[in-house]
Amino acid sequence: MEKEIKFREIAPLDCSRSMVIVSFPSPGLVGSLAASYMVRSLKLGRVGTFSSDDFVPTAVIYDGVPSPPVRVFGGKRECAPDELCNEILVIMSELPVPLGMIKSMSDVILNWCGDKNANMIVTLEGANTPLLPDQEPKVYAVGTTDKAREMISKHKIEPLTEGMVGGISGVLLYEGEEKEKDVLCLMAEANIELPGAMGAAKLVEIISRMLPELKIDPKPLFEEAKQLEDQIKNALKAASPLPPEDREVPPGLYG
């Protein structure tokens, strides 16, 4: 039986020229880091929430306001008469949706975006890869329609031609293809054991190229990623055992 998921609209929404970013937990938290950065840098406000009795019973506090785990952020742009007035909405959760609700949550997102006349859905994912802290991650993409695949080609993103995409992104992809809805999935390589800040920065950079009029600046996130990588490398170096010749031998241990 399909689980009931309720949408609460907090502010009036006109999504007719909106790209909807969808981010749920994935390897390296790359999607969560990227989505959170866009919400902060664009000063997007909370415009809606999705809730269910079957979600993790946890409130997420943002700007002092408690919400269900799945929130929608957006904002109203002031556009010149001759400017292409694209907007961005972000559906995000730092907590995973229960396995038995992934299909229901995906269907609700797809139907909600359809009802709101959203322009395109872009899901953000981490591709589990054994990256080293200083190894630059690659980004791959897969789209459901000719329009989505043209964007992959236009922005010179490496297409994913073979493989699997799981979770909400996977369901949005195959349902989007079946229903001829524009869905694009961006996947950044990430080490499941380390925060993938550099992968997140690359995702934000691609979104900024797709919607240049929004003026999303990924540079601060790249700087944060570099600092985080340096901290991780230093921590790993400090934790690694010293070579035998560098170890101090306590007096008398060997005679």
Tally of domains within the chain: 1
Closest to 106 measured CA to CA, from 163, 175, 52, 51: 175
Between 219-239 and 197-210, two packed helices, what is the crossing angle to 10 degrees? 170
Determine, yes or no, domain membership for 244. Answer: no
- Supply the CATH number for residue 61's domain: 3.40.50.10900
Determine, yes or no, domain membership for 37. Answer: yes
**Tokens matching residue 248:** 């101090």
Q: What is the pLDDT along the chain (255 residues), one digit of tens a residue?
A: 456 899 999 988 878 878 999 999 998 889 999 999 999 999 999 999 999 999 999 999 988 999 999 999 998 766 655 555 668 999 999 999 999 999 999 999 999 999 988 989 999 999 988 877 677 899 999 999 999 999 999 999 999 999 999 999 999 999 999 999 999 999 999 888 777 888 999 999 999 999 888 888 888 887 876 776 666 656 656 665 555 555 454 444 333
Q: Residue 195's domain spans which residues?
A: 12-234
User: Does the predicted model carry a pTM greater than 0.75?
Assistant: yes
